């Protein structure tokens, strides 16, 4: 049976339109979406991911299923994302570890800058420089002066080796030109008790982990590692206002898709997450983790990733930190 050429052309045109990125975006998501979280369940990024996933179901009318895929500093989950089809049905919500691992680790199974499509930055919280309350220096200026007069005597913990909190310590040492000994730990839960007990003097950490100790007076914060004060603790001074501009280390979470995901789908996800971040109930939940909503465009998030790679890379190379 033969079809008229005009009818055949029309049928092909309809099929092509149905397969176009715009048509895909209009019908997206048509099935459940997998959301990889490259860390264990229960932490800040996992909590934020589940919050966003829950609200995405309301925004886009489809289930977003969170899957924890921890290991290798987040690289196992990111490798799964890099190898997933670029159709918007596999996403990841990640911490900023990927921007550190780009320089820190010798071999990665993906290209940090080429394997992913940035969707949106979700939120951010700054690192802080803390100590037990009875440590002799009472201000950041006093602390730097003491460290200069007593090279190698002070020690600091930065939670996991190679983390942003570890790099906060190295950045501080480089900017203040002081010799402070890094004491490695495998997590914040181990390092905080040792700061309180006096086994280590200083700690670079997020407010979430020490808020209770600040309230009961057992710890103090010398500086927030940011150029502006955090809205959740506006009485705490920044490093910038105490003479260290550029002492800026934040822990952020963001959404990625595989490289090649249609721009229309990325834009649809970006718009949905931005709308979610404006909801008062979402903001109040993020506030419990001292996380400030960010949002913005995919391009802005991509620029944040590139700038952090450059910034952290410079600190890592100067400190000669390497993980095989």
The predicted-structure confidence for 107-163, as pLDDT tens digits, reads as follows: 899 999 999 999 999 999 999 999 999 999 999 999 999 999 999 999 999 888 889
Q: What is the pLDDT of residue 271?
A: 98
- Quote the CA–CA distance of 61 and 27 in Å, as a whole number: 11
Residue environment code for 258-285, b if the CB has 16+ CB neighbours within 10 A, otherwise e: bbebbebbbebbbebbbebbeeeebeee
149: tokens are: 């007069």
**Selection from 182, 232, 188, 179 nearest residue 209 by Cα:** 188
Does residue 10 or residue 155 have the better pLDDT?
Answer: 155
Q: What is the pLDDT of residue 17?
A: 47
Domains 31-124+250-319 and 126-242 fall in the same CATH topology: yes
CB 291 within 8 A of CB 48: yes
Alpha helices in 121-187 (DSSP H): 140-149, 164-176
Q: What is the pLDDT of residue 10?
A: 55
Record the pTM: 0.89
Domain 126-242: assigned CATH number: 3.40.190.10
Q: Map out the domains of the chain as residue ranges.
A: 31-124+250-319, 126-242
153: tokens are: 């005597």
155: tokens are: 């020690």
DSSP string, 9-29: HHHHHHHHHHHSHHHHHHH--
**Across 52-62, average pLDDT:** 97
The CATH class, in words, for 31-124+250-319 is: alpha beta
């Amino acid at each position: 049976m033969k079809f008229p050429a005009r009818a055949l052309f029309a049928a092909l045109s309809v099929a092509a339109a149905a397969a176009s990125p715009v048509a895909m975006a209009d019908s997206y998501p048509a099935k459940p979406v997998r959301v990889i979280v490259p860390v264990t369940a229960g932490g800040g990024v996992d909590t934020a991911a589940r919050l966003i996933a829950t609200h995405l179901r309301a925004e886009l009318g489809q289930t977003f299923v969170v899957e924890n895929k921890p290991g290798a500093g987040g690289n196992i989950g990111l490798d799964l994302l890099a190898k997933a089809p670029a159709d918007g049905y596999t996403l990841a919500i990640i911490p900023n570890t990927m921007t550190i691992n780009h320089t820190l680790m010798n071999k990665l199974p993906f290209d940090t800058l080429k394997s992913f499509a940035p969707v949106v930055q979700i939120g951010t919280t700054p690192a802080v420089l803390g100590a037990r309350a009875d440590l002799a220096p009472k201000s950041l200026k006093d602390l730097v002066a003491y460290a200069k007069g007593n090279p190698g005597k002070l020690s600091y913990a930065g939670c996991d080796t190679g983390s942003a909190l570890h790099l906060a310590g190295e950045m501080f040492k480089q900017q203040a030109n002081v010799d402070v000994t890094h004491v490695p730990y495998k997590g914040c839960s181990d390092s905080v008790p040792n700061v309180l007990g006096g086994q280590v003097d200083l700690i670079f950490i997020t407010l979430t982990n020490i808020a209770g100790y600040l309230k009961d007076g057992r710890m103090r914060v010398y500086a927030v590692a940011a150029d502006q004060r955090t809205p959740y603790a506006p009485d705490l001074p920044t490093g910038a206002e105490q003479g260290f501009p550029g002492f800026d280390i934040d822990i952020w979470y963001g959404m990625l898709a595989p490289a090649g995901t249609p721009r229309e789908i990325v834009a649809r996800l970006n718009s949905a997450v931005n709308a979610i971040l404006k909801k008062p109930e979402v903001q109040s939940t993020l506030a419990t983790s001292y996380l400030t909503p960010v949002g913005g465009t995919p391009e802005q998030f991509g620029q944040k990733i590139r700038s952090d790679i450059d910034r952290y890379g410079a600190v890592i190379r100067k400190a000669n930190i390497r993980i095989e």
